[in-house]
Amino acid sequence: MDLRIPDRTAIVCGASRGPGMACAWALANEGVHVTLVARRAEALQIAAERIAEATGKQPGFVVADVGTAQGRCGPGVEYRARHPALSRIFLTGRLGL
């Protein structure tokens, strides 16, 4: 599949497993620079390693619980400091709105 989105940037929340990891994997495979967000650092590290091995793109990751107000603010602030040109945000995890 060619989504014509290489070299874009994206945050994927809930990315340590399941649909979030699948979304991050697919985006990285298309050439997108992906940052994974989830609650557990160990799971994020494993997900990042698997995605890098499979796609050749090394994702970054941010540990945060997007089910909380503080957790929803933190990843965006940290990400924007490193990548001012954010293209997409994918919310695949639980949101406590």
Query: Domains in the chain, please, with CATH?
Result: 9-91 (3.40.50.720)
The pLDDT tens digits for 7-22 are 788 888 889 999 999 9
pLDDT in tens, 34-62: 999 999 999 999 999 999 999 998 999 98
What is the reported pLDDT for 65? 83
Which among 17, 18, 27 has a CA at the least distance from the CA of 89? 27
Three-class SS state of 3: coil
Closest among 36, 85, 88 to 58, alpha carbons compared: 36
The pTM assigned to this predicted structure is 0.78
Tokens of 49: 């390693």
The tens digit of pLDDT for each residue in 65-77 reads 877 777 767 666 6
* Residue 52 tokens, joined: 């890098």
Alpha helices in 30-68 (DSSP H): 41-55
